[in-house]
Amino acid sequence: MAVDAAGLPGEASEETAIRRVAVVGAGTIGASWAALFLARGLDVVVTDPAEGAEAFTRRFTAGAWPALEALGAVLPGADPGHLRFEPDLGAALAGAEFVQENGPEREALKTDLFARMDALLPPEVVIASSSSGLLMSRVQSACRHPGRCVIGHPFNPPHLIPLVEVVGGERTDAASVERAMGFYRAVGKHPIRLHKEVPGHVANRLQAALWREAIHLAAEGVASVADIDAAVAQGPGLRWAIFGPHMTFHLGGGGGGMEHFLAHLLGPFEGFWADLGEPRVTPALQRRIVDGVREEAEGLSVEELSARRDRALVALIRALGEGG
């Protein structure tokens, strides 16, 4: 029973034969993947057409290193300085054994990029997209070898958050999904396999469901934006870092477990479900949310808040590993 918070970057549970990884697109997500792959001692080649992308990636990976070290995720001999940057896509893909694509979240762009990568790579090389919500069936549609195309969706920042959602499209081979799952496990991630593709995969749909109600509650003036956030972060969010909603309610059922929880509390939950909102996010409501978050941030910049989040994430992941 996989109820632990497994997926510590330091706990690779599987070997991988893959040594060379190409990271295509090096913004927020690509640079973070690159840091993790470098820490795992892989040969990492990064490509991105944007001016300044190489400097950004080098800055990011160097900045991410202390957190990776604190997690015990850095293998002996690994060094962020080993990163290679190739502005040319073909040069970056030469010799790659696994590709992690992190370009902008636009279907037409990714479909074209996948077709170009497909034409450049031997057919056995898996091409994984970090896409947060696109369907692989569409992204792979212009490839001659669509069987090797998968979604490998991480969470920001991928060098710290264990979860990766893996799913193929209509024309993806099961073996490619397995290969991607094995690779992610080997670099210390906690991949989950989706049996069918849906927009937003699993975790973003769950986040979307919660966020919709959070916005509805703010719109209805039930509580401030800051207090709605506290209702998650200071409450169930702490438990969700350990167990998901099903296991959490299994415990909520006491000795009777989930069976008792359903008998006792399904009725009230059905009442809540019937009452949940579907807010219309008007410009005025957007303004209220933006103002609410600004107030909640108490003058801290996004960079400062991200640094605080990352420090806490490292401590949390370590604590979960030790307590698991």
Q: Is 66 in the site for ligand NAD (CB under 6 A)?
A: no
**How many Cβ atoms are within 10 Å of 276's Cβ, its own excluded?**
11
Q: Is 27 in the site for ligand NAD (CB under 6 A)?
A: yes
Q: How far apart are CA 194 and CA 252, in angstroms?
A: 27
Q: How far apart are CA 167 and CA 151, in angstroms?
A: 5
Nearer to ligand NAD, 9 or 30 (CB): 30
- The secondary structure of residue 87, as a DSSP letter, is S
Q: Is 68 in the site for ligand NAD (CB under 6 A)?
A: no
Among 5, 24, 83, 96, binds ligand NAD (CB under 6 A): 24
**Contacts from 84-89 at CB under 8 Å and sequence distance 24+?**
84/43, 84/44, 84/45, 84/46, 85/45, 85/46, 85/47, 85/53, 85/54, 85/57, 85/58, 86/45, 86/46, 86/47, 87/47, 87/48, 87/49, 87/54, 88/47, 89/24, 89/47, 89/116, 89/117, 89/120
> Which residues make Cβ contacts (< 8 Å) with residue 130, sequence separation at least 6?
29, 30, 33, 100, 101, 102, 152, 153, 154, 158
- Please state the closest distance from residue 39 (CB atom) to ligand NAD, in A: 18
Q: Is 111 in the site for ligand NAD (CB under 6 A)?
A: no
Nearer to ligand NAD, 158 or 261 (CB): 158
Window of 23-31, 171-179, 229-237, 283-291 that interacts with ligand NAD by CB under 6 A:
23-31
Q: In Å, how far are 205, 210, 241, 254, 265 from 236, measured between CA atoms?
A: 18, 12, 9, 17, 17
Which position's Cβ is nearest ligand NAD? Answer: 27
Q: Residue 134: which H helix or E strand, with range? A: none
Q: Is 169 in the site for ligand NAD (CB under 6 A)?
A: no
Q: Is 105 in the site for ligand NAD (CB under 6 A)?
A: yes
Q: Is 90 in the site for ligand NAD (CB under 6 A)?
A: no
- The secondary structure of residue 27, as a DSSP letter, is S
Q: Is 28 in the site for ligand NAD (CB under 6 A)?
A: yes
Tokens 């694509």 correspond to 101
Nearer to ligand NAD, 263 or 297 (CB): 297
Among 18, 21, 29, 317, binds ligand NAD (CB under 6 A): 29
138 CB burial (10 A radius; 0-12, 13-18, 19+) = middle
Q: Is 130 in the site for ligand NAD (CB under 6 A)?
A: yes
Q: Is 141 in the site for ligand NAD (CB under 6 A)?
A: no
Window of 43-51, 63-71, 216-224, 280-288 that interacts with ligand NAD by CB under 6 A:
43-51
Q: Is 100 in the site for ligand NAD (CB under 6 A)?
A: no
Residues numbered 143-162 forming contacts with ligand NAD, rule: CB under 6 A: 153-156
Q: Is 191 in the site for ligand NAD (CB under 6 A)?
A: no
Among 38, 45, 53, 68, binds ligand NAD (CB under 6 A): 53
Amino acid symbol at 223? A
Q: Is 54 in the site for ligand NAD (CB under 6 A)?
A: no
Nearer to ligand NAD, 49 or 237 (CB): 49
- The contact set with ligand NAD (CB under 6 A) reads 24-30, 48-50, 53, 102-105, 113, 130-132, 153-156
